[in-house]
Amino acid sequence: MHEDIERMLRTELRQVADGVEVPPAPVLASRPTSRFAWPPVLAVAAAVVLIALVVLVGGPSDRGGLPQPAPQPTDVVTDVTDPLPEAVPTGRPRVPYVLDRVAYVGDDSFPGFDAIDGTAQGWLAVEPPFVWSWGNGGAPRGLDVAVEQPPVVSPNGQFIAYLSSEGDLNGFQTAPDGEGMGLPVPVPVRDDDGVGTRIGAVTDDGWVIASGRGVGVLWRPFDGAEPVDLTRTAPGQLVWKATRAGLVVVDGSGDARDPGGDNRVAGDGRVYLADLTPDGELTPIVDLPHFGIADVSEEWVAWVPLEPVGGEVATFEEILVRDLDGGSQGALSAPRGWRFINTDFTFEDAQFLVARVTDGQQQRMTRCSPALQECVLLEAP
């Protein structure tokens, strides 16, 4: 089609050129007459043909006959944080929990336990008087080691660590094909105050931290590294627990021994969230409130001060919440007619936590949203 139009334009231009009267050009003896007799007219004709061809080849445009600019690359920004909830789901908890001394892990239930911690992939549970079991699917298995302080499971459920009553720091992976942590590391069973040394945390990377007054050990068994003396790299700092967001640490450089905030004489007992380097240095992230019970997600800290849960108190009224940026805070109340049971609560993800409640006759689980400041009863198991 383009060739036909070009041929028509050439014919019309030739007819126009034939009608133009031009005086005869002078003959110069020294140069032959040029065969390009009318350069201005033919130049215009060539320009017209060229423009026509460009328009035809380019095709129709999207904006009034004007060609569109080439699309420009754009940066795609994805929000990796959990979106703010619009409502609180009422399905069963996504983490292990205990109701009326029955432990629930997914669709499985195991009677006789008082408390449970971990994930469906790996968990720890305790029954009277101080007997520990663990599981990674199927029936619980006894933790065949004598301990004076509770063993600890990592937030992702992949590691369990313990300090034996003989002073052996050790542990294992919870996966069916998981490995042990190797030769144990000797750690004092009791600290400088004669109090039992705690397993402060085992992280999602399998780092084990033993902590107490005058005792501090970081052990990275799967990295083949030598244990680090935390009393030198982080003197006076007591690692209290590992959370999804980092380590909860108590500044014990003064008199403080725990995060409750009521036992300080010389020190202020600061409580804070921190990261830990492989060399054993603590890097503070954000200050936390003093607490009796607490958990921390990537977005929120939820806590109960020590006074409402101290002593023989069976239930309490509310859980305080604050986002880690400090821009929003409030309180979570149990559903009407129910009260929180004096035991740990757990974040399922960045936005929701689950807690045990009672109406005085029965126990149920509730799910709470700090963002919505709302708690709802969950389906009974």
pLDDT at residue 339, as a whole number: 98
Burial 208-226 (b: 16+ CB within 10 A, else e): bbbbbbebbbbbbbeeeee
Q: Is residue 341 predicted with pLDDT exceeding 50?
A: yes
Q: What is the pLDDT of residues 86-123, one digit of tens each?
A: 899 999 999 999 999 999 999 999 999 999 999 999 99
- For the full predicted model, state whether its pTM sits above 0.85: no
pLDDT at residue 263, as a whole number: 55
Q: Is residue 148 predicted with pLDDT exceeding 70?
A: yes
Q: Residue 208: which of 272, 164, 252, 266 has the closest Cα?
A: 164
DSSP string, 256-315: --STTSS--SSS---EEEEEE-TTS-EEEEEEE---SEEEE-SSEEEEE-HHHHSTT--E
pLDDT-derived band of residue 255, with 50, 70 and 90 as boundaries? confident
Q: Which residues contact 174 (CB under 8 A, 6 or more apart)?
A: 121, 122, 134, 136, 153, 157, 158, 159, 160
Domain ranges of the chain: 1-15+46-57, 297-381
Q: Which residues contact 30 (CB under 8 A, 6 or more apart)?
A: none
pLDDT at residue 4, as a whole number: 45
pLDDT at residue 160, as a whole number: 98
Q: What is the pLDDT of residues 309-336, one digit of tens each?
A: 998 899 999 999 999 998 899 999 999 9
DSSP class of residue 70 equals P
DSSP class of residue 40 equals H
Q: Stretch 142-148: mean pLDDT, rounded? A: 95
Q: What would the two tokens of residue 311 be?
A: 């002593």
Lowest-confidence region among 125-129, 166-170, 254-258, 308-312: 254-258
Q: Stretch 175-179: mean pLDDT, rounded? A: 93
Distance spanning both ends of the chain, measured CA to CA: 76
pLDDT at residue 256, as a whole number: 86
